[in-house]
Chain A
Amino acid sequence: MTSQHDDLAALLDALRDAESGDAAPAHVEAAVMRAWDASRAAQTPPARLSVLSQFASVAAGAVIAAGLTVLGGHLRSTTAVRASLAADTSPTVILVGEPILDGEHVRLVRMRLPAATLHALGVRSTASATGDIDVDVVIGEDGVARGLSLNP
């Protein structure tokens, strides 16, 4: 039994020596490092913006913010108008876009819309949300609406 054990130990030693110099082929390392590079490339943030493009981004953001602020104030004022008129049956007037210029030819388009549609667009009126509302749309020479008049 001891002899067998010694034989086995010697054989294991020989196998260990035979295997000791073996390593993964070079292409495995190449594949692993390619994976590393791909992984890092995926994590790398996009290239830094130039000073000019950063400035342009900030300026564009400021313009958008200012525009939204003006529009928001305008909508609030029209809402206030609507609220003040809510007590009577006067039409609600909403001015949108550019003001009507002196002498500008405008067209008036009258339409009947479901109140729910207007509610969904954020336009509130005194009419029931389930009824219809007559809407007068003032359209300027450029085809853009200048104002709305909601007739409950």
Chain B
Amino acid sequence: MQDNEDPARPAEADHALVERTAAGDREAFATLYRRHQAAIYRFARLMTGSPAAAEDIVQEVFLVLMKDAARYEAQRAALTTYLFGMARRITRRRLLRERRFVDIGSSRGASRWSVTADASAALERRDALQQLRCAILSLPSRYREVVVLCDLQDVPYDTAAASIGCAVGTIRSRLHRARRLLATKLRRAEGAHSVAGAVMRCAV
């Protein structure tokens, strides 16, 4: 979850940075932002299917951190857990409020696969990833969030459990169920050549 930090300098612990942030240290807050924003952004984008919504969620998460840094208790949870938990709440609230259609075709990840040695294979792979994004977005949010956290963000099960507020066993069972649902959806989608650009409803 660490991005854009000088590798020559030992990374300062999150809790120390949060303490400095609470004391009004701008640089500490900026370091926390740069360290954690990418993971929060990817989580939010995969959960909403919308880069614009993900940007809003990142902003909201860090505005809350800015305001409530003094309330953060490092002994209760790692900052990663705290931030994912906050991002999850904000995302769910947003999806519940908007219940809007999400343009899957606007997902920017697809363009990353545009050039390979084998153009045909690249197209197939891009389509496959797009189908997977669609399938993930169509999962109920309780399954979607565990796939996004554990399978796509490599968040440990205990951290995911703490962020979501459930037992580790629940994470395991939801993940198992989510993967089965995903496999079923992808199998059904095989008949269709591509669903890129399709508009589908986010399951909340």
Contacts and interface: CB of A to CB of B under 8 A. Distances in A.
Interface residues of A, number: 28
Query: Interface SS of chain B: helix, strand, loop or mixed?
Result: helix
Contacts of B186: 7-8, 11
Contacts of B55: 24-25, 28
A22 B37 contact: no
A1 B112 CA distance: 30
A31 B59 contact: yes
Interface string B35-59: 0011011100110000000110011
A32 interface: yes
A149 B112 CA distance: 95
Contacts of B67: 39
A25 B3 CA distance: 13
Q: Is the interface of A mostly helix, strand, loop or mixed?
A: helix
Contacts of B108: 22
B175 to A, nearest CB: 11
B59 A8 contact: no
A83 to B, nearest CB: 57
A68 interface: no
A142 interface: no
Given A11-B186, A22-B45, A24-B41, A36 B66 contact: yes
Given A4-B183, A33-B30, A40-B24, A18 B129 contact: yes
Given A19-B152, A22-B42, A29-B34, A5 B59 contact: no
Given A5-B179, A16-B152, 4 more contacts: A11-B186, A14-B128, A23-B37, A25-B55
Interface of A: 4-5, 7-8, 11-12, 14-16, 18-25, 28-29, 31-33, 35-37, 39-40, 43
Interface of B: 3, 24, 26, 29-30, 33-34, 37-38, 40-42, 45-46, 54-55, 58-59, 62-63, 66-67, 108-109, 112-113, 125, 128-129, 132-133, 147, 151-154, 179, 182-183, 186-187
